Structure 1
Amino acid sequence: MCMNSSALNPYHPLYSGARRQQQSKRPKVRVHRLSRRRRLSKEAKEKARVGMLKRQMKIKNLKLYVENQSIIEENEKLRKKALLLHQENRALLSQLQKVSHPHNHFADHNNNNEH
């Protein structure tokens, strides 16, 4: 009877020990739930951040692709222009040589016909 009365007495040392054991299980569950909730929240935030970074990278990649295509087109135009200028330069140089050395042209022409 003494044990039963001490177990019911909130001021008895056995009562408080038994009660602490019962209460200590609950906060651990709450702490685990809170920890899990925090971890899941942190993971969700990280996923959102990674998703946002992926979208930003795709946009930046697309912009760079468009800029690169523009540069390639401009490069092709400049290459064609350079080719035309080179051909024009060769033609003008040929005309200049004909005008400045007309007798050499005949000599070269005659030498070519003899062979």
Structure 2
Amino acid sequence: MCSFSSEKTPYHPLVLALQPPCPSKRHHHLRLSLHKRRRAQVEERRRKKMILKKEMKMRNLKLYMKNQSIIEENEKLRKQALLLHKENETLLFELQNKFSQQSNIKTK
């Protein structure tokens, strides 16, 4: 008989019936193994979360680097487009001057 107090319990049937049952060694072993399994599951979930966080950080870093290179390329193309636009305006201005000079010569 298992007793939770240090005193001996009387063997009266009422006392025995009201006394909480003593967990068996098997029950204690099952509780420990369940506890260990739960703890292992929690640790596994925690480990997977950490791996996912690291993967997400790497993905974010790669996307950030790719975005930066796209921004740099965009700036280069914008500068090149601006230079081509200025060159186009200059050539158009020269062409208009040339036509206006030719029309002035023909009218004289």
Under a length normalisation based on structure 2, what TM-score does the superposition of the two structures give?
0.74
Of the three residues 3, 21, 34, the one matched with 1:28 is 34
- 1:42 maps to 48
Larger radius of gyration: 1
Does 1:94 pair with 2:93?
Answer: no
- 1:83 maps to 89
- 1:62 maps to 68
Does 1:71 pair with 2:77?
Answer: yes
Q: Secondary structure at the match of 2:61?
A: helix
Count how many residue pairs are aligned between Structure 1 and Structure 2: 88
What whole-Å deviation, never above 9, does each CA across 1:31-62 have from its counterpart, x for those lacking one?
A: 11110111011001001001101110111111
- 2:57 maps to 51
More helix as a share of residues? 1
Q: Which segments of 5 or more consecutive residues in structure 1 lack a partner in the other structure? A: 5-16, 103-115
What amino acid is the match of 1:27?
A: S
Query: Identity, % of aligned pairs?
Result: 19
- 1:110 maps to none
CA RMSD of aligned residues (A): 1.7
Under a length normalisation based on structure 1, what TM-score does the superposition of the two structures give?
0.70
Give the structure, 1 or 2, with the largest relative contact order (CA under 8 Å, sep 6 or more). Answer: 2
Q: Which segments of 5 or more consecutive residues in structure 2 lack a partner in the other structure? A: 3-22
